[in-house]
Structure 1
Amino acid sequence: MTSGTGATIKVEEISPVKKKISFEIPWEEVKRELDTAYRTVGKKARVKGFRPGKTPRRILETYFKEDAEGEAIQNLVNRSFEEAMQANSLVPVARPEIEQGGILSERNFTYSATVEVEPVVEPRGYIGLELKREDTAVTEGDLEARLEELRNMYSSLQDVEGDRAVRAGDFLVIDFQGKLGGVERQELTEAGFRIEVGSGRLVPGFEEALTGLKKGESKEFTVRFPDDYHVKDFAAQDVTFHVTVRDVKIKVLPALDDQFVKNFERYESLEALKADLRKSLEEEKAAGAKAALRKAINDRLLELNPFEVPEAYVERQIFSMMIEYQRRMVVSGMDPDNAAKLAADLHDSFRGEATRLVRAGILLQKIAEKESITVDDAEIDGRIREMAARYGRDFESMKASYEKDNLTDRLRDQLLEEKTLDFIESRAHIE
């Protein structure tokens, strides 16, 4: 095909979401653009012996050839690339990779652009999905488990009696140094580390090796890190640890009686506490069932609509997940630099879920377009009012914060996704 710049354009499909586009622009068009570029450069050029705008072309070509040709190439590429995108109904999702050999006198200018584009998706199968809703009934077992959680929240730690050996369930303060291949590694060394034996926080075999030790004792042992461990240097490796137990404590739970209820000012009896817990459990189960149903919808839609997504979209999603993971680690007390390194090490681990999220987002957007589902400003204001009431803020200040931080479009996308899922759910067959 030929563009408005006179360029001959050839589109090669590398994948459904990646194209290589070759351009050949006639010398006549190149010359016109080059003449324009030299006129622009000439107006700004400062050459001794010549007034601005009066420098001869041959002098400009001597001193400013690179500038003029660079500007001409940029203009030619920008115009012809945009024309090719429009003519072929392609939507680029990232900057193209340009390959070109420069301008040669009396020769057509050629270049290629490799670019990722939005996938073409025609959603299907979203009407009449067969789904199953989770049971939301609260059992006595659920209530007992929640009461046990409360008891743990109000528990206390006490020293073990005598010189009893460590066993599962004990809370320890330990120092440890880890060596890989006989070399001590800073990432595997910690002093004053707190751990509940049997919690599964550390690599398999580590916590088990602590049982039988007593306060003040040390032990050296070797554990093999999992094959899929998030730090690649340690994955599937044997690491030798030297551990010293500094302190041993046990957890003591309070009795579940009226005295325990006094920890909560709003309840007058244990039965009142149980009634409120049952209500909150019902709300949680309802929310959990809704989330599970939404996930089932997305999973089924992705199964029915296979398509590739641009790597640029996936990388943006991974970056967002890494930032969120780093933020949570810092909030939990981790050093910011260590949190950043840990988040970076998890880059590849995030890829599968990131790809799934990107595909689901695109698919729901296409369904919304097909079904004319939209979100208006009143709906956005309504959601902001809900959040303002929940967090004890006034509507105007929260809305101003959203606008200042450029979060309004993100909220609009979130609401559109929710409305689209509501639409699909309303037309599904749910047991």
Structure 2
Amino acid sequence: MPSPTPGSVVSFTVAEVSDFERRITLLLDSSRLEAAESRAARRLARDIHVNGFRRGKAPRRMVERVVGRERVRNDAIEDLLTDRLPAVWEGTGLTPAVSPVVDDIREVEAGVEVDLFVSLWPTLATPPVYEGRTVELEVPEEIGEEAVGQHLDRYREQFAELETVERPCRIGDYVAIDLSSSHEGRPLETPAATGFMYELGVETLVEGLTDHLLGCEAGAVVEFEAPLRVAVGELAEGTVIGVRVVVDDVMEKLLPDLDDEWVSDFTDFDTASELREQVLEDLEGERLDSLRSQLRGVLLTELAEEMELDIPEAVVDASAVRMFEDFRGRLDKQGSTVEEYVEATGQDIEAVFGQFRGRATAQIQVGALLDSVAEHTGIEVGDEEILDAYQALATRTEQSAESIAEEMAGSALENSVRGDILRTRALDILMRAVVPTDGDGSLIDLRFDPPGAPETVEDETE
């Protein structure tokens, strides 16, 4: 039988089930249980109808006849647990990751013993070795003149003009067409269009439209059969339909000259050279961001595979449920449902939830890894960093960062913000500490340090 834990008015014992699971046995003495049952019965009396009594006035014995003795006792036990568990957490130093689960209830001489199954957030005593670790990345091509030119062309296309030409059409041209379609001799409302401007090379509802029009001139009439690329009305994707196209005009897309005059008129730059330099810088920045993102993914995956972390199933399930409900909410905003998603992807609901369990497991592993790195390197989050985080929130509200900080002081939200900052800094330390290389073993410079203010990994891990 549990005995009073030193320093606590609650009697309980703690047994280790696994690294991150505990079984806590609490004793609820008879006198407190009796009082809790009376309170539970009075509360239930307000919600049920008992013949011969006004709502809320039925005696306990009558309430128990209606809802059952077990319901009254279970409600009373739940009330007592809610009241006593804070003292248990304080006495043990445990922080449950999910709500404790009642595993067993036993009648004993002194009252009732309740076994609670408690799942904890998994922690990692020591992170896998990461300093000096070599991480091989797939390196994208260097940014050359061709990539810069293609980017500039896409920008110039926003200001392009169309000019009618008397020649066969080719990829990149626009054609003005009248399109009609039919299925099994019956005209279709879709796809159909009159005076439609179609750019050769762009996919449409009709598969292979470009191939059938390529080389045609104004006045040409083209008839063919082709499958639908997507479902249209009652016709499923892939249904073969008849298509008739009349080409009214062929138009060539004319891009503006990339000279200083055009650049100064339509961009924030004065010369074409300045614009080109900025495009090159932007593309190189995107390439660098891509490499850093790849490093983050590869590194975290490799380290997670080396971790021995027995994550409680209840913790994984709770995280997966939250992810799943977020997903359901996003679908709802898009006017769709999980059931429609399942049907469209050809999966069953168990498979979809299994994917979220996999993501939840990976997320928990990464969280434990980063927490361990933060502790290992002695990272501390200062008040100024917290205030900076609140500043971002203040820009979306009418409050100041200082007033938000005052409201959140000591709250769960502040702890969450502090934890996010710790993990972000821990990830930064991880990425700076490893050695990214290409397939040939050559070092890749990811330029983490800002110009003029370099920080070394050693500085951050002292």
The TM-score with structure 1 as length reference comes to 0.61
* Cα separation, 1, equivalents of 2:198 and 2:310: 44
CA separation of 1:259 and 1:3: change in aligned 2, threshold 3 A: farther
**More deviation, 357-366/345-354:** 345-354
CA separation of 1:354 and 1:69: change in aligned 2, threshold 3 A: closer
Pair 1:69-2:73 in alignment: yes
**More deviation, 260-269/248-257:** 248-257
The 5 A counterparts of 1:84-233 are 91-96=95-100, 98=102, 116-122=119-125, 123-131=127-135, 138-156=143-161, 207-208=207-208, 211-212=211-212, 221-222=226-227
Residue identity opposite 2:123 in structure 1: V
CA separation of 1:238 and 1:191: change in aligned 2, threshold 3 A: closer
Residue identity opposite 2:371 in structure 1: Q
Contact persistence 1:157–1:249 (CA under 8 A): yes
Cα deviation, 1:316-371, whole Å, max 9, x if unaligned, reads 345546656887xxxxxxxx314887777779396355543443233212321333
* Cα separation, 2, equivalents of 1:114 and 1:383: 36
The 5 A counterparts of 1:20-419 are 29=28, 31-40=30-39, 62=65, 66=69, 68-75=72-79, 78=82, 91-96=95-100, 98=102, 116-122=119-125, 123-131=127-135, 138-156=143-161, 207-208=207-208, 211-212=211-212, 221-222=226-227, 239-240=238-239, 242=241, 252-258=254-260, 260-307=262-309, 309=311, 310-320=316-326, 336-338=334-336, 348=352, 351=356, 355-382=361-388, 397=399, 399=401, 412-419=418-425
CA separation of 1:359 and 1:78: change in aligned 2, threshold 3 A: same
Cα deviation, 1:110-133, whole Å, max 9, x if unaligned, reads 776666542232322133322468
Once the two structures are TM-superposed, the CA of residue 35 in structure 1 deviates from its matched residue by 1.3
**More deviation, 316-325/137-146:** 316-325
* Cα separation, 2, equivalents of 1:54 and 1:342: 49
* Cα separation, 2, equivalents of 1:410 and 1:311: 21
Residue identity opposite 2:147 in structure 1: D
Contact persistence 2:39–2:76 (CA under 8 A): no
Residue identity opposite 2:335 in structure 1: D
Contact persistence 1:116–1:312 (CA under 8 A): no
* Cα separation, 1, equivalents of 2:246 and 2:108: 79
CA separation of 1:354 and 1:36: change in aligned 2, threshold 3 A: closer
**Equivalent residue pairs, number:** 390
CA separation of 1:221 and 1:112: change in aligned 2, threshold 3 A: farther
The TM-score with structure 2 as length reference comes to 0.58
* Cα separation, 1, equivalents of 2:270 and 2:172: 36
Contact persistence 2:204–2:229 (CA under 8 A): no
Q: Which one has the largest radius of gyration?
A: 2
Residue identity opposite 1:424 in structure 2: L
Residue identity opposite 2:304 in structure 1: L
* Cα separation, 1, equivalents of 2:251 and 2:403: 46
Cα deviation, 1:263-296, whole Å, max 9, x if unaligned, reads 4243333223223323333444444444343334
CA separation of 1:341 and 1:293: change in aligned 2, threshold 3 A: same
Contact persistence 2:36–2:77 (CA under 8 A): no
CA separation of 1:145 and 1:301: change in aligned 2, threshold 3 A: farther
CA separation of 1:168 and 1:126: change in aligned 2, threshold 3 A: same
Which consecutive unaligned segments of at least 5 residues does structure 2 have? 5-9, 185-189, 231-235, 437-442, 444-462
* Cα separation, 1, equivalents of 2:319 and 2:270: 54
Q: Percent identical across equivalent pairs? A: 22
Which consecutive unaligned segments of at least 5 residues does structure 1 have? 183-188, 226-236, 328-335
* Cα separation, 2, equivalents of 1:190 and 1:410: 52
Once the two structures are TM-superposed, the CA of residue 166 in structure 1 deviates from its matched residue by 9.0
Cα deviation, 1:58-104, whole Å, max 9, x if unaligned, reads 5675567646323323145557877887888764333355566x888
**More deviation, 122-131/34-43:** 34-43
Residue identity opposite 2:297 in structure 1: K
SS at match of 1:125: coil
